[in-house]
Amino acid sequence: MKTRILEVSEEHIDENIIREAGRIIKEGGLVAFPTETVYGLGGNAFDPQSAKKIYAAKGRPSDNPLIVHIAESGDLYKVAAEVPEKAKKLSEELWPGPLTIILKKLPVVPKETTGGLDTVAVRLPSNRIARALIRASGTFIAAPSANRSGRPSTTRASHVAEDLDGQVEMILDGGGSAIGLESTIVDFTAEPPVILRPGYYNKKRIEEIIGPVEADAGLESDAAPKAPGMKYRHYAPKAEMTIVEGEGAAERIRELVREKEEQGKKAAVLCSEEHKDLYRQGFVFPLGGADNEEETARKLFDVLRKTDELGADVIYSEAFNTPNLGTAIMNRLQKAAGHRIINTEEVQE
pLDDT at 215 exceeding the cut of 90: yes
pLDDT band at 225 (very low <50, low <70, confident <90, very high): low
Q: Where are the alpha helices (DSSP H) in the chain?
A: 15-26, 48-58, 85-94, 128-137, 157-164, 203-210, 249-262, 293-309, 326-336, 344-348
Residues 206 and 293 in one domain: no
What is the predicted pLDDT for the residue at 231?
Answer: 46
> Which residue, of 181, 215, 249, is where some domain finishes?
215
d(CA 171, CA 154) in angstroms, rounded, equals 12
**Which SS3 state, helix, strand or coil, does residue 314 take?**
strand
Residue 116 φ/ψ region, left for φ over 0, alpha for ψ in the -120 to 50 degree band, beta for the rest: left
Residues 20 and 156 in one domain: yes
What is the predicted pLDDT for the residue at 63?
Answer: 82
Closest by alpha carbon to 237, among 166, 317, 117?
317
Closest by alpha carbon to 65, among 117, 14, 11?
117
Residues 203 and 247 in one domain: no
Residues 211 and 285 in one domain: no
Q: Is residue 234 part of a domain?
A: no
The CATH number covering residue 17 comes to 3.90.870.10
Closest by alpha carbon to 232, among 51, 110, 63?
63
Whether 122 and 45 have beta carbons less than 8 Å apart is answered as: no
pLDDT at 226 exceeding the cut of 90: no
d(CA 302, CA 313) in angstroms, rounded, equals 17
Residues 188 and 302 in one domain: no
Q: Is residue 223 part of a domain?
A: no
d(CA 88, CA 83) in angstroms, rounded, equals 6
Report cis status (omega within 30 of 0) of the bond before 192: yes
Residues 196 and 305 in one domain: no
Residues 211 and 254 in one domain: no
What is the predicted pLDDT for the residue at 349?
Answer: 45
What is the predicted pLDDT for the residue at 218?
Answer: 59
Residues 312 and 211 in one domain: no
pLDDT at 348 exceeding the cut of 60: no
pLDDT at 35 exceeding the cut of 50: yes
Least confident of 37-51, 184-198, 207-221, 240-254: 207-221
pLDDT band at 205 (very low <50, low <70, confident <90, very high): very high
Closest by alpha carbon to 181, among 203, 206, 207, 154?
154
Q: Strand pairing partners for 4? A: 170
pLDDT tens digits for range 187-199: 999 999 999 999 9
- Output b/e per residue, 166-190; b: 16+ Cβ within 10 A: ebbbbbbbbeebbbbbbbbbbbbbe
- Secondary structure (DSSP) of 125-154: ---HHHHHHHHHHTS-EE--BSS-TTSPPP
> Which residue, of 154, 182, 215, is where some domain finishes?
215
d(CA 31, CA 137) in angstroms, rounded, equals 11
- Stretch 304-315: mean pLDDT: 97
Residues 107 and 58 in one domain: yes
**Which SS3 state, helix, strand or coil, does residue 109 take?**
coil
Q: Is residue 280 part of a domain?
A: yes
Domain that holds residue 71: 4-215
Whether 228 and 244 have beta carbons less than 8 Å apart is answered as: no
Amino acid at 212: P
The CATH number covering residue 260 comes to 3.40.50.11030
Residues 172 and 36 in one domain: yes
Whether 128 and 116 have beta carbons less than 8 Å apart is answered as: no
What is the predicted pLDDT for the residue at 235?
Answer: 84
> What is the side-by-side order of every strand in the sheet holding 170-173?
4-7, 170-173, 31-33, 40-44, 141-142, 67-69, 119-123, 99-104, 184-187, 194-197, 214-215
**Into how many domains does the chain fold?**
2
Amino acid at 242: T
Listed in sequence order, the residues at least 6 apart from 293 whose beta carbon sits closer than 8 Å to its beta carbon are: 320, 322, 323, 324, 325, 326, 329
Q: Is residue 309 part of a domain?
A: yes
What is the predicted pLDDT for the residue at 220?
Answer: 36
Residues 65 and 184 in one domain: yes
- Stretch 10-19: mean pLDDT: 96
pTM score over 0.85? yes
| Cα–Cα distance list, 159 to 37, 270, 305, 328, 335 (Å) | 14, 19, 8, 21, 19
Question: Is the model more confident about 61 or about 252?
Answer: 252
Q: Is residue 229 part of a domain?
A: no
The average confidence (pLDDT) of the chain is 94
What is the predicted pLDDT for the residue at 227?
Answer: 59
Q: Is residue 231 part of a domain?
A: no
What is the predicted pLDDT for the residue at 228?
Answer: 55
Would you tell me how many other CB atoms lie within 10 Å of the CB of residue 241?
A: 24
What is the predicted pLDDT for the residue at 223?
Answer: 45
pLDDT at 219 exceeding the cut of 60: no
Q: Is residue 228 part of a domain?
A: no
Residues 205 and 292 in one domain: no
Portion of the chain with pLDDT greater than 90, in percent:
90
Whether 173 and 5 have beta carbons less than 8 Å apart is answered as: yes
Whether 301 and 155 have beta carbons less than 8 Å apart is answered as: yes
Q: Is residue 156 part of a domain?
A: yes
pLDDT tens digits for range 111-167: 999 999 999 999 999 999 999 999 999 999 999 999 999 899 999 999 999 999 999
